[in-house]
Amino acid sequence: MDISALAPLAAPLAALSYRTWACVCVSASLLYLRHISALARLPRDAPCPRFGFLFRLLYGLFGTTLAQAALAYLLHTREGTPQPEQLGGTTPRRTGPAELRVKLLPILGSAFGGNYSFLIWDEADEARRALVVDPADPHPVLAAAAAEGLRVVTLLNTHWHLDHAAGNRTFARKLPGLQVVASSAERTRPPAVTTLVRDQTVLEVGRLRVRCHHVPGHTQGSLCFEVYNVAAPQVPHAVFTGDAIFCGGCGALFEGSAHVLHAALGVLVSRLPRDSLIFPGHEYTEMLLRMACQREPSNQAAAKQLAQACHARLLRAKSLPTIPTTLAQELEYNPYLRASAEQLARMCGCVEE
Ligand SMILES: [Zn+2]
């Protein structure tokens, strides 16, 4: 924008009194506060009483345009600058068969405990279309797509938090016609959304299908995206769980109660094939497995998985993320997927072994 075009406004603005300026600033602040307060209104069953008004206000602030701009300025990498260190390594890693290729992209360094974005495509697609999950930092995702000769056509937002959705605007600006998908339960929160989806909505990109699963708890509209190739039924489905499920645990309950999340996880587990690959949004595996081992010291599967996660960290120079795992594995040690009443009671020491 040419700043000299604003020159004719300078004289009238300079003529305004201090009192007028003060009124404008106070009014703008009040309007902005009202906007934030509206965002901070969480559902009645929001879980933790310690989440007082101040927390809610700050939480609401986290979803504003101002916060998005600040995060983009502070954390987005620029072309030519190296990726900051991340627990899952810094090198993009390809996984999966040709029918359902997934590239793990470590982004945002360790600012939010190590985020992942994912590039997904079918090698047989001559149009080289790709989907992206949670592109909070646009540059590394666009660079990875270019390196693979892919054309990003769809962004999938697992939820509105900025460490997952802050890249939407830049993507939409750079790629006209881009489809940006988010939950209908979070319609105004993620930026630049073009398509709102509900539980069980199915999207199509070539031979790939994306089935959306609503798993509220971390946020009201949290989604897990189950991606599969209709031409390759033998290929395990890839499930992108955002902050709803992690390897060894689940996301913090910001906008829903434990009951809400527990019920949703039960439905999700009943729908997914056991060999589905679980791709969570953060590299929290080691921390969560330590907690799982504390809760269930006798769980051998948890101890074994923890040893593998520690091994991956020790080999960080070789960039070894601890994901994906499979649903079958998670069902062996993830306390939040195994919290049936009897097991939970045993873990808490409420009944004798
Ligand atoms: Zn997150």
Kindly report, residue by residue over 198-232, the tens digit of the pLDDT: 999 999 999 999 999 999 989 889 999 999 999 99
| Structure confidence by residue, pLDDT tens digits, 127-186 | 999 999 999 889 889 999 999 999 999 999 999 988 899 889 889 999 999 999 999 998
What separation in Å is there between the alpha carbon of 112 and the centre of ligand 1? 7
Residue, of 177 and 21, whose pLDDT is higher: 177
What separation in Å is there between the alpha carbon of 224 and the centre of ligand 1? 13
> Which run of H or of E encompasses 29?
helix 18-40
Q: Max Cα separation, the chain?
A: 80
Mean pLDDT of 90-108: 90
Least confident of 87-91, 216-220, 276-280, 321-325: 87-91
Pairing of strands 245-246, 325-326: unpaired
Percentage of the chain beyond pLDDT 90 is 41
Q: Determine the pLDDT at residue 24.
A: 81
User: Of 112-116, 167-171, 269-273, where does the model show the most confidence?
Assistant: 269-273
What separation in Å is there between the alpha carbon of 207 and the centre of ligand 1? 29
**Cβ-contact 248, 288 below 8 angstroms:** yes
**CB-neighbour burial class of residue 6 (10 A; exposed 0-12, middle 13-18, buried 19+):** exposed
Residue 316: pLDDT over 70: no
Q: Determine the pLDDT at residue 119.
A: 97
Residue, of 125 and 86, whose pLDDT is higher: 125
Residues designated as active site: 159, 161, 163-164, 218, 243, 282
231: left (phi over 0), alpha (psi -120 to 50) or beta: alpha
What separation in Å is there between the alpha carbon of 165 and the centre of ligand 1? 9
